[in-house]
Amino acid sequence: MNWKTTSLLTAFGSIVLLAFWLWTPDKSRNELEARYLAAPGDLVQVGPWRLHVRDSGPKEAPAVVMLHGFGASLQTWDVWAPALSATHRVIRLDLPGNGLSDPDPANDYTDARSIELVLSLMDQLGVARASIVGHSIGGRIAWTFAARYPERTERLVLVASDGFASPGFEYGSAAEVPAVLGAMRYVMPKPVLRMSLEPAYADPTFLTDEVTTRYHDLMLAPGGRDAMFKRLEQTVLIDPRPMLATIAAPTLLVWGDADAMIPVANAQDYLSAVKGSRLVTLPNVGHLPQEEAAESSLAAVADFLR
């Protein structure tokens, strides 16, 4: 065997070893449920969807429905939900293909499908009206719901809400999903995920090993990564201003002034479009106020919901 053959075999072996090291298979559902499911009854069938839902607080109290952002789960509300449950019925869920909720059986991750899901969940739980709280993509679903179903919406809280055009997300066309992101369907080592999460936090100390592990674990739920990227691929933004102008529900905007994902400047667009809306800005906070400034953001939201 000459040196060229030896070098080629060595290089090939290194590639195989690297691929083996980087390849990230799904985690088993049993393992994830043992770690992140609080009670078996939190897995519920709602129409065609099998969802992870936590329903806390007095059933007769005013209801609050909480919608998480891209790649997240209902745990993002872990500080807000218990506190609000003292005065409200708090309903938080993993959107299909996120957390412990199964992927959508129709592989439909459009906003219209998400709004249909929220309506079905409210109907099944006997909730006629609710305050809708949404973060990021969940914010876009929340304000669209409020515009289309004012009779079902009590109040609206938008946390670093998505909806206006930005580079790669233009009005009227599908989102541009870089191929390198698509590869995360198969390759997602925890250190790589941590690097992708870091820009969401102004203070990196909030991105602890525990938080990183939770995000990593739940993104590895069976079918979760495919669902995550299908949601991106199926996102087609429209100019939100005509719809926002129809919102009648009292509206609170919550934003970190160091948000590197959806800049706080976007809040001005919402203030201009939604009549009577008001803004709470949190200093030195990134894209996740409900995690990074949980207590101060909670105080503003609790006061608004009262």
DSSP state of 306: -
Q: For the chain, what is the mean pLDDT?
A: 91
**pLDDT value at residue 167:** 74
**pLDDT value at residue 182:** 67
**In the chain, which residues have pLDDT < 70?**
1-22, 179-182
**pLDDT value at residue 166:** 80
* Angle, helix 209-219 to helix 224-233, in steps of 10 degrees: 80
- CA distances from residue 260 to 74, 141, 232, 256 in whole angstroms, order as listed: 22, 21, 19, 9
What is the C-alpha to C-alpha distance for residues 47 and 208, in angstroms, rounded to an integer? Answer: 37
**pLDDT value at residue 111:** 96
Instruction: Tell me the residue ranges of DSSP E strands in 81-179.
Output: 89-93, 130-135, 153-159
**pLDDT value at residue 288:** 98
**pLDDT value at residue 2:** 36
Instruction: Tell me the residue ranges of DSSP E strands in 123-250.
Output: 130-135, 153-159
What's CA 19's distance to the chain center, in Å? 30
**pLDDT value at residue 180:** 65
- Among residues 145, 176, 149, 132, the alpha carbon closest in space to that of 240 is found at 145
Q: What is the value of pTM for the model shown?
A: 0.91
User: Which residues, listed in sequence order, are joined to residue 251 by a DSSP beta bridge?
Assistant: 156
Question: Which tokens in the block code for residue 177?
Answer: 């999903």
The phi and psi torsions of 186 (rounded to 5 degrees) equal -120, -25
The phi and psi torsions of 177 (rounded to 5 degrees) equal -110, 105
Contacts for 237 with CB less than 8 Å, ≥ 6 apart: 163, 164, 165, 169, 170, 171, 172
**pLDDT value at residue 169:** 76
Max distance between CA atoms of the chain, in angstroms, equals 80
What is the per-residue pLDDT across 192-228, written as a single tens digit (0 to 9) for each? Answer: 899 999 999 999 999 999 999 999 999 999 999 999 9
What is the C-alpha to C-alpha distance for residues 163 and 153, in angstroms, rounded to an integer? Answer: 19
Cβ contact 100:75 at 8 Å: no
**pLDDT value at residue 1:** 42
Cβ contact 103:224 at 8 Å: yes
**pLDDT value at residue 173:** 83
What is the C-alpha to C-alpha distance for residues 279 and 89, in angstroms, rounded to an integer? Answer: 24
